[in-house]
Amino acid sequence: MNVEIDITHGFDGLTLRVEAEVKGGLTAVFGPSGAGKTTVLNIVAGLIRPDAGRVCVNGRVLVDTGAGVFLPPAKRRVAVVFQEARLFPHLSVERNLLYGAKSRDGLADMVDLLGLGALMTRAPGTLSGGEAQRVALGRALLSDPELLLMDEPLSALDRARKQELMPYFERLRDEARLPILYVSHDVEEVAQLADQVMLLRGGQMQALGPVAQVFAGEGMAPEISRDMAAAVLEVSIAGYDARDGLTELRLGGTPLWLPGQAGELGHRLRLRIDARDVMLSETEPQGISALNILPVTVREVRAGPGSGALVALDHDGHRLMARITKRSVRRLGLEPGKRLFAVLKTMAVAARG
């Protein structure tokens, strides 16, 4: 199943231009405020009529301005989850879930997927923000959509409630087999959840590709990539050192160490390593506190408009990024092919199953 978007639309003094073909999984529509992210979702949902263009879901035309086609929202089989849960306050959780559903088929599976069993008789006013968003998500999925749109669903929640919801969003991404367009401006959310990223800036689509590729800035100008440059790596848990309280991870055959117990043996994790948290050394550092030191090879050096530069690195086929000063680039004599050691200062971790 895929989504084709080819639209042009004027908004807030900008012209939005997006041409993309999105496959299954979760695609993050990512970028700063005013980039046009929510406008894209509203056009796909049928809440806005584009100036020109075409939108198709699995070959079914939702919008074609040239042919005069514009399906109303109710006929699109597109479900939307907004920033606010928008539950009906006079209905129980169960009745909210079934509102718009054709039958009760699938209710039990949805309740299990989203952990709603203990909430079914509750009123929306008694739910936490995270619980309410899970109910809103369940209601959207029970409408049997072909496409799910999520517009900053975590932005109204505090950090604790966001972390409460993340495992459910991950299960949805992995188990629902439904294409999802997920609007966000939060780098950590996108790195944790997205299979691919559509990057918008100033109404223009700058990149569309796998999350690791886009965060590494491939094919992007330095002034764009420096704001979000990072490595996104898939690793597995190899063990736990109870004496030192460290989890051992494996990046291919290389061990990495994380504080605390990150999960069970064999579980997969996704690491986000910000380019600003990577130091480079010509020799293997000795006598330092950092535990994670990787041999790397320079792939590319990109000078930024200010004092900084981005260095693309390779470790046994895994892409890393480092953001350092131009002076450091000169002092280290960095150029493609040069061998170095990368010191990883911090790593953000997300479960992957």
Choose between 262 and 326: higher pLDDT.
326
For residue 223, the model assigns a pLDDT of 47
Across 86-100, 101-115, 180-194, which has the greatest mean pLDDT?
Answer: 86-100
Q: What is the DSSP letter of 263?
A: S
For residue 96, is pLDDT > 80?
yes
**Mean pLDDT along residues 295-308:** 89
Query: What are the residues facing 8 on neighbouring strands?
Result: 17, 52
Judge whether 119 and 151 are in contact, CB under 8 Å: no
pLDDT, averaged across the chain: 89
| Complete edge-to-edge strand list for the sheet that includes strand 308-315 | 278-281, 339-344, 293-303, 308-315, 318-325
Cross-strand partners of 272:
232, 348
Of 195, 153, 188, which Cα lies nearest the Cα of 174?
Answer: 195
Looking at residue 225, what is its pLDDT?
58
What domains can you pick out in the chain, each with its CATH number?
3-215 (3.40.50.300), 230-351 (2.40.50.100)
Pick from 329, 275, 277, 274: nearest CA to 303: 329
Query: Per residue in 111-134, pLDDT tens?
Result: 999 999 999 999 999 999 999 999
- Structural element, H or E, at residue 236: strand 230-241
Q: Which long-range contacts (CB under 8 A, 24 or more apart) does 24-27 make?
A: 24/177, 24/178, 24/179, 25/173, 25/179, 25/180, 25/195, 25/196, 26/173, 26/180, 26/182, 26/193, 26/194, 26/195, 26/196, 27/179, 27/180, 27/181, 27/182, 27/194, 27/195, 27/196, 27/197, 27/198
Q: In sequence order, which residues have a C-beta less than 8 Å from that of residue 302 and are 6 or more positions away?
A: 217, 222, 225, 309, 310, 311, 312
Say if residue 221's pLDDT is above 60: no
pLDDT tens for each residue of 307-351: 888 999 999 999 999 999 999 999 999 999 999 999 998 777 765
Which of the four pLDDT bands, split at 50, 70 and 90, describes residue 269?
Answer: confident
Q: What share of the chain has pLDDT > 70, as a percent?
A: 95
pLDDT score for 215? 85
Beta strands 348-351; 268-274: pairing state: antiparallel
Indicate whether 136 pLDDT > 70.
yes
Q: What pTM, to 2 d.p., does this model score?
A: 0.84
Question: How far is CA 243 from each of CA 260, 261, 267, rounded to the nearest angstrom?
Answer: 11, 12, 21
Place of tokens 């929306």: 124
Per-residue pLDDT reduced to its tens digit, 183-216 = 998 888 898 899 999 988 888 888 888 888 888 8
**C-beta atoms surrounding 264 within 10 Å:** 8
Q: What is the predicted pLDDT for the residue at 188?
A: 84
Under DSSP, the state recorded for 114 is: H
